[in-house]
Amino acid sequence: MSAAGISKKLGETEALKNVSADFTGAMIHCVLGPNGAGKTTFMRLLAGLLRPDAGKISWNRGGLPVDFQSVKPELAYFPQEPSLYPDLTCDEHLAFFRDLYGVPKKIYDEKSEMLLRLARLTEFRDRKAGQLSGGMYKKLGLICVLLHSPSALLLDEPTVGVDPVSRRELWELMHGLSAGGMLVIMTTSYMDDAQRCSRAHLLDGGRFILSGEPRAILENEKASGFEEIFLRLAK
């Protein structure tokens, strides 16, 4: 997937300004930037929830360009605040998404058990979503969108508002998905998150300022961390 010359205005705000980036391979790409940088707008454009005012988003399958409508069923979007039903249990949420995606029962039985196990939610399958911790709530939302076996996963701020243990488990889950061949694109404002990814794309003021392998970016910029790079921009 690639974005070329994308611009988007929301009201009077120019959220994105001629941004371009490549997101290739079965790896984790991190869009890193402070609040208000344009991260959520960019993810909504990738998910097809918004249309760019200018530029183009291109998707590929097997190295060949494909229409977004043919890719859409293989795409999973995980918003910053997943909308779950507080009175439904983990099992009931999975059954709801099974029907939504039309997942056959045999596949569902195997896939739901695997996802509950990966998210460490097996013993909480009968607990209502409204009674879950912030981290468990996000993990439940994530496994629900993974139920239909997408080939690409878009995550908007998945590590915000979760406890350290759940945050580590979310990372383990994302790395497992990537190792299994899935393209993962996530946004974050946590600078240390970028160093856990294969590729980092630094977004500030609606523009991508740097992209590449995280360690290489820090070495080239002679910076001890990504905070230092953003502080230089602020000055």
Alpha carbon 37 to chain centroid distance?
A: 16
Give the model confidence (pLDDT) of 23-36 as tens digits.
988 899 999 999 99
Give the model confidence (pLDDT) of 153-181 as tens digits.
999 999 988 888 888 988 998 999 999 99
Provide the 3-class DSSP secondary structure of residue 183.
strand
Query: What is the residue extent of each domain of the chain?
Result: 2-234
- Written out in words, the top-level CATH class of the domain with range 2-234 is alpha beta
Give the model confidence (pLDDT) of 79-101 as tens digits.
988 789 999 999 999 999 999 99
What is the model's pLDDT at position 148? 92
